[in-house]
Structure 1
Amino acid sequence: MNTAEIMTAFTSGLADINLAEPDTARGGEKAAERMKTASSTIYDMAATLSAKGDLWNWGMYDPEIVDEIRARLPGFGEFGTDGFSEQLYFLALRDLPIGLDDYDGRTVLEVGCGTGEGLNFLSRIARGARMTGLDLSPRAIARASATLARADVLEFVHGDAEKLPFVDGSVNILVNIESSHNYPDLGRFLREVERVLSPGGILTHIDVFTRQRYAAMRRMTAEIDGLTWVTDHDISDRVRAAIGRRMASDSHFHATLARQRMNPMARRIAAHSQILMFGGMFAGYQPPAVIRLLSRIGIVPWVSGLPMESYRHQVAVRR
C-alpha cells in the first residue's frame, strides 16, 4: 500500500472499530489485518520521525500528581518535556492496590508501548520491577531496544496485543495506555490479558472512548469471568486540561515547534496536524482561519476526528 492507501485503511479502520454498535460485525479477519498492517506502518513512520523523549498520548494535567512525581523525580518537567504524557503513566500505577515502593521482583508488561519512553519513565518510578514493553510496530521496538533497554530492568518485544507472546500467569501488572482503541478485537485482547496475568495480577487500562466503544467495553468486561473490574474513573477533564495547555501559545509544544527550521505557514500547518493527532478536537480545538481556508482549497487535509465522549482509567484484578 502507498501512503494514501495506508492512511485510508487506518482512518476507516478506526471508524469501524470505534463507531460500530456493540453487536455489529466489523468486516472480519481481513479487515482486521488491513487495519493492523496500516497501524504498524504508521507507527513505524512515527518512530522514525519523533524526537527522543516523545511520548505518544494525549496526556493529562493534575497539579497533585505533578507534585507527587517531583517528590520522586526532582526537576520533573523542567527539561525536554511538558510532563503531561508522563502524568498518565504515573496515574496508571498510582491508584493500584500496590504501593509504588513495593514493585521489587514484580513483572510489569506494557502492551502498546510505542518507542518505550513511557515505560522507561515508569522504570524510574517503580524501581525493582522487571519491565517489558510490547508493540505492533517493529520500528518502534527496534528504537526502544537500541536506546532504552537495560538488562534485567527494561526490555522490548515485537508482538500483537491480541496474541500476546507470553506464557499463562507470567505477568503481575499489565499496563495499556491510549492503545486499545486501535485494536480490531477488544474482547480478544481482554481475554489475552486474563490469560497472561497471574492470580491477583492487575490490569491498568487508560483510553479514550466513543459511546459505542464504551458500550462494547462494558459488555465485554461482563463476559470475561477471570477479571474483576474494581475501578472505572472518567478523567476527561484532566485530559482536556493537558490538551488545552499544550495548545496555548506559550506552551512547551509551541516552543519546540518554534525551534525547528520552518517558515511560519509550515509551522502553523505542523501545529494544526499535531494538535489534531493529540486530542485537539476532544478539547474543543477550533482551527485558525488560515487553516480552514487551506482545508477548503485542498492544501491541508481536514480531519474532524471521531466523536470521542470520554477518557477513562479502568482497573481489573485477575481472580
Structure 2
Amino acid sequence: MTPAPAVREPRHVPLAHVIRDGLVEGVHHGSVVVLAADGRVEFEAGDPGVAFYPRSALKPVQAVGMLRAGLGLDGERLALAAASHSGEEAHVAGALGILSDAGLLRDDLRNPADLPYGAGVRDRWLSADRAPSRLAHNCSGKHAAMLATAHGRGWSLDNYLDPGHPLQKVIAETVEDLTGAPPAHVTADGCGAPLFSVSLYGLTRAVARIATARPGTHEARLAEAVRAHPHMVAGTDRDVTRLMRAVPGLIAKDGFEAVQIAALPDGRAVGVKIADGSDRARMPVTAAALAVAGVDPELLAPFAQTPVLGGGKVVGSIRATGPLALRAAA
C-alpha cells in the first residue's frame, strides 16, 4: 500500500518574480508538477511530494465521492457541486434548487453565512443592503450536494460534516483512490467540511484521472459537467472560468492559499501550490506549467502575467521564473 505523504515543512523553490520597472521587487516560492499523458512526471520543481492542504482544489474529487455515494446531479448543478462560485444569481439559485429538489431547506446548510466571493457581485450585494447568506458562500453548491446525497441515502443530515459520517467516509475513500495514497491528516476547511491533506503529485494525478475517465463513469460525468459549464465552477469574470474557455477540453479548479490544478482530456495535467498563499502568482505559474505540458502559448498569453500597477498604470508584471519559465519558453 502506498504510504501517506510525508508531513514536514515543504522545500519550496522560487516560481514567480514580481517585477516593477525592471527590478525584482518580490519572489513567490512554491511547488509545481506537470504530468505527461502517460502519467509520468514531465516536470517538477519544489516539493510536490509533501503533504499539503489542497483546499477547494479538492472539490472535484469530493464531487466524485458524492456521485459514488449516489448523488443524482448532472449538468450545471453537478458543476456547482465542485465549485468555489462567485455568488452570482445562477450560483445561488442552483444551490437552492439542489436543496429544494431534495425537499431540503437553506437552513439545513452547515457552511457559514458569507458575502459573495466575486468582487463585483459582492459590491452589488452590499449596495442592495443584502445580508451575508449561507447560499452566497462560495461553497454552498458543495454543501447542498452533500446534503442531497445524504438525504438520498437516508443518512443523517445534522452531522453531514462529521468526518465519521457515512458520506464523508465515502469521500475519504475516493480521495485515497484517485490520489493513490491515504490522506496524511484530516482537518476542517474554511467552510467546515472535512479537508484531507494529500500531496501535489496525488492531487494532480486525481484530476488527470477525472479528465481521462471512460464515458459513463462517475469521473466522466463530473468532467463533462465542468467542461460544459465552466461558469458554474467559478464565475463569469474569474480566471479559472476564462482558462477553461480558452483551452479546449481543459478542466481546472483553484483553491484558497493559491492552489491550482488543471487537466486535459489526454491526461496531461498540472498542479501548482504557491507557498505564501498569494493568489496573484497562481495563474502565471499555472500558465507556464500548461505551456510545459504542451498547451499552445497563444491560448495561455492572457494568463501568463499579472500586471503590477503604479499610479494606476502598468509598470511591471508577475511572471514565472527559473527552470519552469525556461521550459515553458523552450
TM, length-normalised to structure 1: 0.33
Considering Cα pairs closer than 8 Å and 6+ residues apart, tell me whether 1 or 2 has the greater RCO: 2
Give the helix-richer structure, 1 or 2.
1
TM, length-normalised to structure 2: 0.32
